[in-house]
Amino acid sequence: MKKIYFSLLFVFASVLAYGQETSKAQADSAYINNDYASAVYLYEDILANQGESADIYYNLGNSYYKMDNIAKAILNYEKALMLNPGNGDIRFNLELAQSKTVDKVTPMSEVFLVTWMKSLTNTMSEQGWSKLAIASFILMLLGLVLYFFSKKIAMKKIGFISALCLMLVCILANVFASSQKNKAQSHSNAIIMEPSVTVKSTPNEGGTELFILHEGRKVMIKDNTMREWKEIQLEDGNAGWVPASVIEII
């Protein structure tokens, strides 16, 4: 009886896996055949039923880009980049889509070290930094073993210096992994999805009109406490309120 049960379970799992693989293949096939509407539907279905994937978000972004839906393309490129920040293809396509948006915002100047640290952090995902932290910790222990048990002075020096360097790498990797995790969980950024929206000084229609934003513009959510309105901020420091319905959180 148990053998029959496990055999049926295996067959069911195989069919399920095959169905998932077929869905991905069908979505890719639709994209290759320029049937972008079907590709969008299939990729969205995969994300809804099989979980997040940088590759699927990337392909979905490409499909929306081909349909000239720049806002949706940017949204999905951003989601893909959040899962795989070191991917050059995703970043290139995101920048290409952003070049087609209306709003051009000059970011506030930063200290070079801050900008460099952000770029370094974004070379890998949380998982990538975590793996590096574990690997460097193990190698650090090997360096300490070499330092404590080697009888040669030169080997002791090599072990000690290596352990110190690897300890620094381990600490930084943990810090960067934590930073990537917090960024992914904070959901503090969003994309303007409407063709245009007027940013208000207060969270109501009667507020003073401050400036206008257009679809595809990335904004930071400064105040997320209200359901109907969100306070947003741009890279140049300008801030205001927009209806929650006009943005989609990354």
Tell me the pLDDT tens digit for each residue of 1-54: 444 444 434 444 444 445 445 588 999 999 999 999 999 999 999 999 999 999
* Residue 77: closest CA among 66, 92, 67, 26: 92
Give the CA dihedral 8, 13, 17, 20, nearest 10 degrees.
100
Q: Which CATH class is domain 189-249?
A: mainly beta
Q: Which CATH class is domain 2-98?
A: mainly alpha
Buried b (16+ CB within 10 A) or exposed e, 137-161: bebbeebbebbeeeeeeeeeeebbe
Cα separation, 233 vs 210, whole angstroms = 12
Tell me the pLDDT tens digit for each residue of 75-127: 999 999 999 998 999 999 999 999 999 998 888 887 888 888 988 999 998 99
Is residue 233 within 8 Å of 213, Cβ to Cβ?
A: no
Model pLDDT, residue 3 = 47
* Residue 50: closest CA among 5, 28, 11, 20: 20
Tell me the pLDDT tens digit for each residue of 181-205: 888 788 899 999 999 999 999 999 9
Model pLDDT, residue 8 = 38
Q: Which residue type, as a one-letter code, is found at position 142?
A: L
**pTM of the predicted model as reported, rounded to 2 decimal places:** 0.81
Tell me the pLDDT tens digit for each residue of 142-181: 999 999 999 999 999 999 999 999 999 999 999 999 999 8
Model pLDDT, residue 23 = 83
